[in-house]
């Protein structure tokens, strides 16, 4: 009975934290269904997804001054956190300023991304929470969204008919350029809402498993050093 009470209390606390992060009441989270009426209508999206190669994105970031990385559930599923940090270390060694931006509900529970990055050995001073880093996207050369979706969807700011309207998001769309790593084409996230970030003029899509993409980016940057030598 005591064990059950502890588990129940922990579950309740997680629910409260997620509700706060989504700017929703507990009743709204527990009982209101997601609908995608407006987001799913044909013609609601302007533009198209623009594919890019992992190697090209890696070289672009290698010569950038600043990069902000937004990790998400797709990174966790692929277990690509170590490859990602290997890539980050190459960027830092080249003089690039790299930071990680964490959304409170990225993944499937609060704190999942923090644990994921800690497992890879990412220093704590490189990891920033939403409130502490969101204003920095506007002055950042490249945002790399890797495995995240709903937490960077600009529709949460602009589309009052969207079920995620009002949810705080990371401002990846305000960076000078944004690369999104996603397994397949198609702009819907876990909520079923089309992600308008994917269709913006300055967003490029890299399709593939997150771990494999990170591996390709590592090799692309290493090849620059080999060529110089």
CATH top class, domain 54-228 = alpha beta
Counts of helices then strands in the chain (DSSP H, E): 9, 6
Compute the mean pLDDT over every residue in the chain, rounded to the nearest whole number: 84
Question: How far, in Å, CA of 54 to CA of 220, rounded?
Answer: 8
Helix H or strand E encompassing 17: helix 2-21
**Closest among 20, 33, 115 to 71, alpha carbons compared:** 115
Is the predicted pLDDT of residue 20 greater than 50, yes or no? no
Where is average pLDDT lowest: 162-166, 206-210, 219-223?
Answer: 162-166
Residue 163 pLDDT class (50, 70, 90 cuts): confident
Give residue-wise pLDDT tens across range 43-69: 467 789 999 999 999 999 999 999 999
User: Catalytic residue positions?
Assistant: 150
Reported as a pLDDT band with limits 50, 70 and 90, residue 227 is low
Share of the chain above pLDDT 70, in %: 77
Q: Is the pLDDT of residue 207 over 90?
A: yes
Residue 79: which region, alpha, beta or left (left: phi > 0; alpha: psi -120 to 50)? left
DSSP code per residue over 99-122: EEEE-TTSSSSTTHHHHHHHHHT-
Residue count of the chain, please give it: 229
pTM of the model: 0.82
**Pairwise CA distance, residues 116 & 17, whole Å:** 19
129 touches 122 (CB < 8 A)? no
Query: Is 27 a residue whose pLDDT tops 80?
Result: no
pLDDT level of residue 35 (50, 70, 90 thresholds): very low
99-149 per-position pLDDT tens digit: 999 999 888 778 899 999 999 999 999 999 999 999 999 999 999 999 999
């Amino acid at each position: 009975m005591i064990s059950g009470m502890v588990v129940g209390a922990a579950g309740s606390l997680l629910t409260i934290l997620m509700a706060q992060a989504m700017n929703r009441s507990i009743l709204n989270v527990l009982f209101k269904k997601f609908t995608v009426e407006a987001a799913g209508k044909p013609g609601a999206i302007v533009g198209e997804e623009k594919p890019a190669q992992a190697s090209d994105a890696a070289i672009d970031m290698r010569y950038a001054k600043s990069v902000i990385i937004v990790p998400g559930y797709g990174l966790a599923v692929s277990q690509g956190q170590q490859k990602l940090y290997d890539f980050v270390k190459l960027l830092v060694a080249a003089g690039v300023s790299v930071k990680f931006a964490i959304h409170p509900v990225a993944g499937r529970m609060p704190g999942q991304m923090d644990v994921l990055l800690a497992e890879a050995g990412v220093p704590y001073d490189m990891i920033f929470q939403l409130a502490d880093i969101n204003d920095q996207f506007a002055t950042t050369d490249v945002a790399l969204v890797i495995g995240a979706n709903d937490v960077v969807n600009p529709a949460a700011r602009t589309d009052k008919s969207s079920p995620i309207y009002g949810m705080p998001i990371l401002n990846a769309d305000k960076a000078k350029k944004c690369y999104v790593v996603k397994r397949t084409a198609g702009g819907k996230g876990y909520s079923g809402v089309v992600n308008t970030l994917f269709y913006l003029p300055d967003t490029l899509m890299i399709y593939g498993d997150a771990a494999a993409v990170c591996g390709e980016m590592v090799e692309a940057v290493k090849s620059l050093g080999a060529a110089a030598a």
